[in-house]
Amino acid sequence: MGEQGPRNWGEPGAVARAIEAGALDDELPAIAAAINARWAEHARLRVERALKHITVGTRVAIGAEAQPKYLRGMTGEVHEIDGEVAVICLGAPVGKFKSGHVRCPAELLVPLET
């Protein structure tokens, strides 16, 4: 099915190349499960790190990955935290956000020094 013999897994890209070459076809379900679990843990850790620096009242800027794009760089104050999402009060209506309040994933927020 794939190549046999010793592999240097420490070499950058070795695992990806082995997968692409079909050398790990019998292991694909386990590899996929491990990647999905690690990806979920990575996302959880990103949110956890973000929430350590954000509380109600924190002044923040909306980060460069936000959608819609016109929100990127906008600043406001955290009004509420609901799980992994913060409600930001921008102080004025912006685009489709007529109330001036935007729900934004905490990991996209950059705390500002006051």
Give the number of other CB atoms < 10 A from CB of residue 54.
18
The average pLDDT across 72-87 equals 94
State pLDDT tens for residues 24-69: 999 999 999 999 999 999 988 988 888 898 999 999 999 999 999 9
Domain 56-111, second-level architecture: Roll (2.30)
- The CATH 2.30.30 domain(s) of the chain lie at 56-111
> Which residue in 111, 99, 97 sits closest to 67, CA to CA?
97
CA distance 92 to 77: 12
pTM value surpassing 0.85? no
- Asked if 36 and 15 count as a contact pair (C-beta separation under 8 A), the reply is no
